[in-house]
């Protein structure tokens, strides 16, 4: 691997992978379109299709998802951007118009999840639809969209972690990344005569975690014991993964006035909600399973007990 990398290069030296001429965008009729946006868009469409398929397995019509999809996508994007801007206000307060420029990234998945959940709650209340079933289906699509969206971060050279020399270490040209994302630790490991940084590819870690989580969610859909179980599995599973991965990242959004990453706090809250929800849900399912015993079976059992006594 040469000491000087081209600005469009990305490398994984310990895996023997050297990628050249990886642009951040493509030009169509003179208009630049970021790969970040293209990948996010494709992820959203595939996510909606998967959610529609899953809700059919839960006994609802696929149109239920397609009808609400546009609202969810719009308000998820708004929520993701708003969340990021709120916790990065110092970066935007002197240039308010830059808030609307999303072509360089600047989305936070938690904001998207919050925006999407609120949209589902309001839509289901208006349409008299089971909100928990809708959410169960949607988190499957959300997870698929997330794991694809992380590759938008790859093209943008963002959302990476601290310095590492592990097997998956990723090298990025210094001029290709935001200077604010280069921590003191990373800077301290920049070798004289080189123009790259070597970091944790946290986009890859999270995409792999989401693949595993998606497989678990699809399994839970087939063996769901109560409405909301799939969503709770997502909250718990994603919360665990994000709490770990967020600790590696250099672009953490912090709670104002502290050094605490807001994403790690939210991750713990998601895990807590999942644990409590599962306990309540399982108890609810068991109580209804016992109450669903046929009357004839109950009568037979009673007569048998009488005979024995």
pLDDT of 291 reads 61
pLDDT of 28 reads 86
- Tokens 């087939």 correspond to 222
For the chain (309 residues), the mean pLDDT of every run of 10, in chain order, is: 86 97 90 89 95 95 94 93 89 82 75 94 94 96 95 94 98 95 96 95 97 98 96 97 96 90 95 97 86 52 44
pLDDT of 218 reads 97
Q: Which candidate, 26, 238, 227, places its Cα nearest to that of 145?
A: 238
pLDDT digits 0-9 by tens, 268-288: 999 999 999 999 999 999 887
For residues 254 and 178, give the distance between their C-alpha atoms in angstroms, rounded to a whole number: 18
């Amino acid at each position: 691997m040469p000491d000087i990398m081209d600005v469009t290069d990305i490398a994984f030296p310990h895996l023997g992978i050297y990628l050249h001429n990886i642009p951040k965008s493509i030009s169509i009729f003179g208009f630049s379109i970021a790969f970040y946006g293209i990948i996010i868009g494709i992820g959203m469409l595939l996510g909606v299709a998967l959610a529609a398929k899953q809700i059919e397995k839960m006994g609802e019509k696929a149109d239920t998802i397609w009808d609400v999809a546009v609202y969810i996508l719009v308000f998820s994007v708004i929520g993701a951007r708003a969340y990021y801007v709120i916790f990065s206000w110092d970066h935007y307060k002197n240039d308010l118009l830059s808030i609307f420029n999303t072509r360089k990234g600047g989305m936070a998945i938690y904001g998207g999840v919050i925006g999407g959940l609120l949209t589902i709650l309001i839509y289901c209340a208006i349409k008299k639809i089971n909100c928990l079933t809708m959410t169960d289906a949607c988190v499957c699509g959300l997870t698929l969209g997330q794991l694809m969206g992380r590759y938008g971060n790859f093209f943008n050279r963002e959302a990476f972690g601290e310095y590492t020399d592990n097997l998956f270490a990723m090298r990025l040209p210094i001029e290709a990344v935001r200077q604010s994302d280069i921590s003191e630790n990373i800077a301290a490991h920049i070798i004289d005569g080189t123009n790259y940084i070597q970091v944790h590819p946290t986009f890859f870690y999270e995409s792999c975690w989401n693949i595993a989580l998606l497989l678990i969610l699809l399994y839970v859909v087939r063996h769901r014991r109560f409405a909301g179980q799939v969503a709770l599995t997502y909250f718990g599973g994603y919360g665990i993964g994000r709490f770990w991965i967020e600790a590696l990242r250099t672009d953490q959004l912090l709670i104002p006035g502290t050094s605490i990453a807001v994403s790690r706090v939210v991750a713990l809250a998601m895990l807590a909600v999942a644990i409590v929800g599962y306990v309540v849900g399982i108890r609810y399912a068991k109580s209804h399973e016992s109450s669903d015993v046929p009357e004839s079976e109950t009568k037979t059992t009673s007569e048998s007990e009488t005979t024995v006594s």
